[in-house]
Amino acid sequence: MVLNRVRAVFFDLDNTLIDTAGASRRGMLEVIKLLQSKYHYKEEAKTICDKVQVKLSKECFHPSSTCITDLRTLHWEEAILETKGGAANRKLAEECYFLWKSTRLQHMILAEDVKAMLTELRKEVRLLLLTNGDRQTQREKIEACACQSYFDAIVIGGEQKEEKPAPSIFYHCCDLLGLQPGDCVMVGDTLETDIQGGLNAGLKATVWINKNGIMPLKSSPMPHYIVSSVLELPAVLQSIDCTVSMST
């Protein structure tokens, strides 16, 4: 009897299953077009979008004190003010934010080959979606890419006491599936949250999606497996199970 095969896979969402970064770039391009055609901005249009991108990358969201819509509209308002000067323009900031957001959601698509992979995997193991982020933002993405039906459970960091890389959220995922950490594998694109979290919780294995061939820092957490695409995962799982078979 083969013991301790992989029984569940936890998937990150952003830039693991869907191209969030690419969708966001498409949204920024639409805002640049809007600012240039309707408001006759020139190079300032790109400057504003670049500033917003920086603000998004440093964003600290506290749902108790504000909502994500207000916070992100403020990013646009500040970027416009910093670039153009003059009085704050809330109306333009809202127009930019909602165009960026709607375009971004339109391009958050679960690719057909990813759908096929998830469908096949689910015949063998349990699948769980584990994503950090604000409840509203992540629920909108999940709705946009229509991925709910591919998973046995969905866990959003913003709805829990702690997010990845805290072990507690991984233990919660295990409990939902009635499994132990040693039964589960974490797959994601972020070393500091997905991989570190999987290691913290003592999962069976961690799989890092390194699309751009980045060389991690020496201080970065070390994943068990590195792949360039999530589509390589079935072969990795087969390798893990073969290792288990041989060791038993």
- The predicted pLDDT at position 246 comes to 56
Q: Three-class SS string for the chain?
A: CCCCCCCEEEECCECCCECHHHHHHHHHHHHHHHHHHCCCCCHHHHHHHHHHHHHHHCCCCCCCCCCHHHHHHHHHHHHHHHHHCCCCCHHHHHHHHHHHHHHHHHCCCCCHHHHHHHHHHCCCCEEEEEECCCHHHHHHHHHHHCCHHHCCEEEEHHHCCCCCCCHHHHHHHHHHHCCCHHHEEEEECCHHHHHHHHHHCCCCEEEEECCCCCCCCCCCCCCCEEECCHHHHHHHHHHHHHHHHHHC
- Alpha carbon distance 47, 24 (integer Å): 16
Q: Per-block average pLDDT, block size 10, for the chain (248 residues)?
A: 80 98 98 97 97 95 89 98 95 98 98 98 98 96 98 97 97 98 98 98 98 90 97 96 63
- Alpha-carbon distances, residue 174 vs 18, 128, 170, 201, 233 (angstroms): 23, 9, 6, 10, 20
Q: Sign of dihedral through CA atoms 91, 97, 100, 101?
A: negative
Report pLDDT for 244.
57
- Alpha-carbon dihedral angle through residues 57, 19, 160, 71, given to the nearest 10 degrees: 40
Q: What is the end-to-end Cα distance of the chain in Å, rounded?
A: 8
All domains of the chain in start order, with CATH = 8-19+110-242 (3.40.50.1000), 21-107 (1.20.120.710)
User: Contact, 83 vs 44, CB < 8 A?
Assistant: yes
pTM of the model: 0.93
Q: How many CB atoms lie within 10 A of CB 59?
A: 12
Q: How far apart are CA 98 and CA 106, in angstroms?
A: 12
